[in-house]
Structure 1
């Protein structure tokens, strides 16, 4: 099981990778959305905004604490989060295999698919 610090670092890596994408592609595929990332085995939820500049306004809370419903919800284990961030786990395979659960509208799913 990865630590909370490793989870924070993984989110940072994902944010950095977003900024490495060509700016034109980011404008085309990234629409600002609120994101709730539930890391199931460390009992923590990271709330943030997905923007063209990466992940912004990242906060942590316990799953039982109330919060506004995010436009995109992701549930993943800490080890899988770290593996995804380090490109050791293919995002599409993780989604199809049930290791990552995604709660988003169809339009958001199609945009995210192009970034994976």
Structure 2
């Protein structure tokens, strides 16, 4: 089971990948949305803002945050680490229920090119 620190590190790698994104991924990274990533097996949520091609102002909250983000992801820590490492395909994980996404359909389609 991934630790909170491993999940935070994976999110930092994801943020770094966004900064270097090109093509359709760069367009998707240009969204300006609040973002949360709930790690179900650790009962922790990372919240921040996707803006200007970066994930900014990431904070860790125990449980679920009081305010709902515009893009909400929910998964196990190991799945987050595997997705960011490229070992787990986002669309496949989403289709099988390993990753849950709550966002507008347009945002989901854009997000797919980032993960």
TM-score, length-scaled by structure 1: 0.88
1:109: how far off? 1.5
Question: Displacement, 1:25?
Answer: 5.3
Please list, as runs of the form range in 1=range in 2, the aligned pairs for 1:1-116 lying within 5 A after superposition. 1-22=1-22, 26=26, 28-29=27-28, 30-64=30-64, 66-116=65-115
Deviation at 1:110, TM superposition (A): 2.3
Larger radius of gyration, structure 1 or 2? 1
Q: Which moved more, 1:50-59 or 1:82-91?
A: 50-59
- Could you tell me which runs of 5 or more consecutive residues in structure 1 were left unpaired when the two chains were aligned: none
* Alignment check: 8 A CA contact 2:90 2:112 kept: no
CA contact (8 A) 1:18 1:52 kept: no
User: Do the aligned partners of residues 79 and 114 (structure 1) sit closer, same or farther apart at CA in structure 2, a change above 3 Å counting?
Assistant: closer
Q: Would you say the 8 A contact 2:36–2:45 is kept in 1? A: yes
Partners of 1:37 and 1:111 in 2: CA distance: 16
Structure 2 CA distance for aligned equivalents of residues 82 and 24 of structure 1: 23
4+ runs of 1 displaced by more than 6 Å? none
TM-score normalised by length of structure 2: 0.89
State the 1:6 CA deviation. 0.2
